[in-house]
């Protein structure tokens, strides 16, 4: 764990050692998990307005859902060996999985929507046009 600020060290101190030790390889995911580590799960029957799904260390979501409607879907260029998945719900990190292990799971009572897909969104995802980010 090199080149960490005092703030980053404080965040890491919230995590179990086996998770914190992944910071050099999965820096973004580990700090995202640490920021929401002490937050409770979402309440029962929480219907998300926004759901963003990130694979690896992407800066923009690969899947973006607004009020149950798929707005962006861009997983065509993902490597077969993507080792982390992160889910942001209503601007809060809700789920992070690294190398098959669940690091953070705050899904709680989230009601995942039946996603509607418009033909234009589907076509845009196939030709590589993004609507988010």
What pLDDT, in 10s, does the model give residues 62-78?
999 999 998 888 876 77
Question: Global pTM?
Answer: 0.84
- pLDDT over 60 (residue 81): yes
- DSSP for 65-122 reads EETTEEEEE--TT--TT--EEEEEETTEEEEEEETTEEEEE--TTB-----EE-HHHH
Q: Give the residue extent of every domain in the chain.
A: 6-127
Give the rounded percent of residues in the chain with a pLDDT score beyond 70.
83
Q: Which pLDDT does position 3 carry in this prediction? A: 86
- Give the tens place of pLDDT for each residue, 116-129: 776 766 666 556 65
């Amino acid at each position: 764990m090199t080149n960490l600020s005092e703030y980053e060290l404080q965040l890491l101190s919230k995590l179990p050692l086996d998770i914190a030790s992944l910071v050099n390889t999965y820096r973004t995911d580990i700090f995202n998990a640490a920021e929401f580590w002490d937050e409770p799960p979402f309440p029962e029957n929480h219907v998300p307005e926004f759901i963003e799904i990130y694979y690896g260390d992407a800066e923009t979501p690969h899947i973006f859902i607004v009020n149950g409607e798929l707005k962006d879907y861009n997983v065509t260029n993902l490597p077969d060996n993507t080792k982390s998945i992160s889910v942001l719900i209503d601007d809060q990190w809700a789920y992070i999985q690294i190398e098959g292990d669940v690091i953070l799971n705050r899904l709680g009572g989230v009601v995942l929507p039946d996603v509607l897909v418009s033909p234009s969104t589907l076509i845009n995802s196939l030709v590589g046009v993004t609507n988010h980010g």
